[in-house]
Amino acid sequence: MQALLKLSGLIDDINERIGKAATWLVLVVVVISAGNAVMRYTINWSSNGLLEIQWYLFSAIFLFCAAYVLKKNEHIRIDVVAGRFSQRTQNWIDVFGLIVFLLPMVVLTMVLSWQVFMNAWDTGEVSPNPGGLVRWPVRLLLPLGFFLLLLQGLSELVKRIAFLTGNGPNPLEKEKAANEIEELAAAIKQHQVAPEVADIVSMNAHMVDDQPREGDRK
């Protein structure tokens, strides 16, 4: 089990690095999209290649980040029922889902998409649009992305079995450390609320001072 956990840690590290790197593609897409729009409205020039590279990069972001999101345990879940169960039961549900649904689906998609990629490679498939791009690179993204998802699915399976056998922590517990955005939001809230509290305290103090004291009544 310890050897499997080390392998799981290696897979987690690989998908962590790939996922974080893929997020920078969002900036690349924004720059390309903005540049294409500026060129179109200023000098009336555009390119189908620039449009298609955006689609390619969107595919890369989605496919290369899927395993990263699974590693972070941030995929959408329906916890209305499962959330009521114990931690062990929740992990057993995940083991069942990984073995019966996720892993077979990923393997099937890899096999089918590899055939599509090979067909595009053998035929030299090119976009039918004028100035379009070669299609095999984007076809290759699908099996690569699902291969990373397969590795992460195996890693998640190892971590859940380790927890169920008492050899590891609960993998369903999300990271609770506050990120920079949460810390900034807390600081803003503190600066916004503190003056209001101070004003209320000051106002109450003046009201107390203005009230007649027992000795003054006499």
The per-residue pLDDT for range 134-149, each reduced to its tens digit, is 999 999 999 999 999 9
Assess whether 118 and 148 both reside in one domain: yes
Residue 209: the pLDDT is: 53
Please report which confidence band the pLDDT of residue 107 belongs to, taking 50, 70 and 90 as the band edges: very high
Assess whether 60 and 148 both reside in one domain: yes
The per-residue pLDDT for range 19-53, each reduced to its tens digit, is 999 999 999 999 988 888 888 888 887 788 888 89
Please report which confidence band the pLDDT of residue 131 belongs to, taking 50, 70 and 90 as the band edges: confident
Q: pLDDT averaged over the chain?
A: 82
pLDDT over threshold 50, residue 218: no
Choice between 12 and 80, residue whose per-residue pLDDT is larger: 12
Assess whether 34 and 122 both reside in one domain: yes
Residue 59's SS3 state is helix
- Distance between CA 158 and CA 155 in Å, rounded? 5
Please report which confidence band the pLDDT of residue 210 belongs to, taking 50, 70 and 90 as the band edges: low
- 149 in Cβ contact with 106 (< 8 Å): yes
Assess whether 155 and 185 both reside in one domain: no
Assess whether 139 and 84 both reside in one domain: yes
- Distance between CA 94 and CA 85 in Å, rounded? 12
- 46 in Cβ contact with 39 (< 8 Å): yes
Q: Which domain holds residue 187?
A: 179-206
